[in-house]
């Protein structure tokens, strides 16, 4: 029989527990964000029924199509946006998501600040850091992070809870996680969204508070 998403979930939970033990961390300090992008409600439901409550999606439209019905049916779901956000979708994103991991430019800050005030909602906000300075990737360059975080606070009145990174695919992730943790620490930020299926144990070792795990739970995406 093929591996089901609930056995994937069990395996990931056990690996998170082990990584926390190895790092001397409390497992309750690490939130598993189950990344359900591309998977249907039918594939997601068994994972909800197995007790998972925090889910990640990378597109506003896809999340809007899938999640309102699931959230009606199952209590206590927390939905995180992990993918890039266009400013013109800030309204929908603030209405739907409990956390946004991809704050990465002033125009988005402005749009988010406006919607947060208007809707009286306060999603947890993470600033994405482009630790590998990859031109095709979103995120603030490490050397611009301190100034950007100050602007989020002072210019836009946003409360940033933490940082997020996606290390370059072909590089060892450890130094990227360590750099992200260092920038967070010197800016007084407590949350770190880092680590995916291939490297969440390393991320936990380096301080991740939110690991974004998709394929290790749901299987390969097509
Ligand atoms: C898809 C995605 C993930 C999950 O990736 P897996 O390798 O399937 O665990 C994590 N973070 C972001 C930003 C993603 O887009």
CA atoms of 126 and 164, how far apart (whole Å): 6
CA atoms of 50 and 221, how far apart (whole Å): 21
Tokens of 178: 């360590």
Query: Residue 98 in contact with residue 124, Cβ under 8 Å?
Result: yes
For the segment 180-191, the average pLDDT, to the nearest whole number, is 98
- Indicate whether residue 58 lines ligand 1 (CB < 6 A): yes
Give this prediction's pTM. 0.97
- Block residue for tokens 């939970």: 13
Q: Sign of the C-alpha dihedral, residues 205, 209, 215, 221? A: negative
Residue 2 has pLDDT above 50, yes or no: no
Query: Residue 95 in contact with residue 121, Cβ under 8 Å?
Result: yes
Per residue in 50-62, pLDDT (tens digit) is 999 999 999 999 9
CA atoms of 184 and 93, how far apart (whole Å): 24
Per residue in 19-60, pLDDT (tens digit) is 999 999 999 999 999 999 999 999 999 999 999 999 999 999
At residue 1, the pLDDT reads 40
Calculate how far, in angstroms, residue 154's C-alpha sits from the geometric centre of ligand 1.
31
Calculate how far, in angstroms, residue 160's C-alpha sits from the geometric centre of ligand 1.
21
Residue 4 has pLDDT above 90, yes or no: no
The CA-based diameter of the chain, rounded to the nearest angstrom, is: 55
CA atoms within 13 A on the CB side of 5: 24
DSSP result, 83-138:
S---GGGHHHHHHH-SEEEEE-SHHHHHHHHHHHHHHT---EEEEEE-TT--TTS-
- For the CA of 196, the closest atom of ligand 1 is 9
Per residue in 95-107, pLDDT (tens digit) is 999 999 999 999 9
Q: How many CB atoms lie within 10 A of CB 60?
A: 21
Per DSSP (E only), the strands in 3-75 are 31-35, 54-57
CA atoms within 13 A on the CB side of 65: 10
Helix (H) or strand (E) holding 184: helix 174-186
At residue 222, the pLDDT reads 84
- Indicate whether residue 197 lines ligand 1 (CB < 6 A): yes
At residue 6, the pLDDT reads 86
């Amino acid at each position: 029989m093929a591996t089901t998403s609930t056995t994937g979930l069990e395996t990931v939970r056990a690996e998170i527990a082990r990584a926390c033990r190895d790092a001397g961390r409390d497992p309750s300090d690490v939130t598993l964000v189950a990344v359900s992008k591309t998977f249907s409600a039918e594939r997601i439901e068994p994972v909800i029924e197995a007790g998972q409550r925090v889910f990640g999606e990378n597109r506003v439209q896809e999340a809007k199509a899938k999640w309102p019905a699931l959230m009606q049916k199952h209590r206590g779901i927390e939905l995180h946006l992990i993918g890039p956000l266009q400013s013109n979708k800030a309204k929908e994103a603030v209405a739907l998501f409990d956390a946004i991991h991809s704050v990465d430019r002033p125009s988005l800050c402005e749009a988010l600040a406006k919607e947060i005030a208007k809707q009286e909602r306060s999603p947890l906000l993470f600033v994405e850091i482009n630790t590998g300075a990859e031109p095709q990737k979103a995120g603030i360059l490490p050397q611009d992070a301190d100034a950007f975080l100050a602007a989020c606070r002072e210019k836009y009145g946003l409360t940033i809870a933490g940082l997020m990174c996606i290390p370059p695919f072909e590089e060892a992730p450890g130094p990227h996680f360590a750099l992200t943790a260092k920038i967070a620490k010197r800016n007084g930020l407590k949350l770190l969204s880092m680590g995916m299926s291939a490297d969440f144990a390393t991320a936990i070792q380096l301080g991740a508070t939110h690991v974004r795990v998709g394929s290790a739970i749901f299987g390969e995406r097509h």
